[in-house]
């Protein structure tokens, strides 16, 4: 597999942007550049008085708009965003494991850099994170105090599921002791028979077998993994930042 995805291209510009930089000494030009200059502190903006652009800017902006769109079209053509994906045959031999190696680091980064949270249904989270357990809202349209915690919990469950998928040996934690098993030839009724006369085998523990299997513990972890993948599908369209 080879994947090349470049950053998003920003080729947008407008006649208003041109005016703001061509007439940089004008007060209205400085105000127009506020939205472009990230270094301008909020306090400085509040102390400054907003000055509207003169009317001639609107008239000329309409006339120059086709030129602006043409420039953007040319830039998009000569400098497009790179989107290249090549899939090899072996990538789909165990596609769930292949995708897990890609999805897991993306989910971790999304959880660490998330700037917002989508709506998460109460039925998908524990009781203490539900909206019914949140503090009273000041306004009806406000998000409740558990809104972001619900999304972080959902992301955590997704991450757990993909972490386990990337581990081929996670079930080994629930097996202890030494395995000593024997396969005894039997007939259809389970009675031992001479070798060569059988059609079936029956497994029996050997004298050195001390193996133990925490079946309930493994089932609980598997249920959590399955639920994490369910949440991944349910909130797939909410995986944005």
Domain boundaries, the chain: 2-83, 95-173+215-238
Given a cut of 80, is residue 22 above it in pLDDT?
yes
Q: What's the pLDDT at 192?
A: 78
Q: What's the pLDDT at 41?
A: 52
Q: How confident is the model at residue 11 (pLDDT cuts 50, 70, 90)?
A: confident
Q: What are phi and psi of 186, to 5 degrees?
A: -135, 165
Residue 142 — left, alpha, or beta (φ > 0 → left; ψ -120 to 50 → alpha)?
A: beta
Q: How confident is the model at residue 126 (pLDDT cuts 50, 70, 90)?
A: very high
Q: What's the pLDDT at 199?
A: 72
Q: Average pLDDT, whole number, for the chain?
A: 88
Residue 167 tokens read as 């581990």
Q: How far is CA 53 from CA 32, 34, 35, 64, 72, in A?
A: 8, 13, 14, 16, 24
Q: Lowest mean pLDDT of 5-9, 60-64, 142-146, 212-216, name the range.
A: 5-9
Q: What's the pLDDT at 44?
A: 54
pTM of the model: 0.72
Read off the pLDDT of residues 40-84 as tens digits, 9 standing for 90 and up.
Answer: 455 555 555 778 889 999 999 999 999 999 999 999 899 998 889
147-165 helix and 95-113 helix, angle to the nearest 10 degrees: 150
Q: What whole-number distance in Å separates Cα of residue 170 and Cα of residue 2?
A: 28
Given a cut of 90, is residue 209 above it in pLDDT?
no
In the chain, where do the E strands start and end? 2-5, 83-86, 175-176, 181-186, 200-205, 212-213
Q: What's the pLDDT at 166?
A: 95
Read off the pLDDT of residues 140-188 as tens digits, 9 standing for 90 and up.
Answer: 888 999 999 999 999 999 999 999 999 989 999 999 888 888 888 887 7
């Amino acid at each position: 597999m080879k994947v090349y995805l470049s950053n998003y291209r920003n080729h947008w510009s407008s006649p208003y942007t041109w005016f703001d930089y061509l007439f940089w000494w004008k007060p209205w030009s400085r105000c127009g550049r506020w939205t472009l200059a990230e270094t301008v502190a909020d306090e400085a903006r509040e102390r400054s008085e907003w000055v509207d652009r003169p009317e001639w800017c609107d008239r000329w902006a309409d006339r120059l708009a086709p030129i602006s769109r043409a420039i953007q079209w040319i830039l998009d053509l000569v400098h497009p965003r790179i989107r290249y994906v090549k899939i090899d045959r072996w990538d789909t031999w165990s596609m769930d494991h292949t995708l897990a190696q890609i999805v897991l680091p993306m989910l971790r980064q999304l959880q660490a850099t998330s700037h917002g949270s989508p709506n998460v249904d109460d039925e998908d989270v524990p009781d203490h994170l539900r909206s019914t357990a949140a503090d009273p809202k000041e306004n009806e349209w406000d998000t409740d105090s558990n809104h972001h915690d619900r999304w972080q919990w959902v992301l955590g469950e997704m991450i757990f599921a993909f972490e386990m998928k990337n581990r081929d040996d996670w079930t080994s934690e629930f097996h202890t002791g030494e395995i000593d098993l024997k396969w005894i030839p039997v007939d259809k009724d389970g009675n031992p028979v001479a070798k060569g006369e059988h059609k079936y085998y029956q497994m029996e523990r050997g004298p050195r077998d001390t193996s133990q299997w925490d079946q309930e513990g493994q089932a609980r972890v598997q249920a959590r993994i399955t639920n994490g993948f369910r949440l991944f599908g349910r909130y797939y369209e909410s995986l944005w930042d």
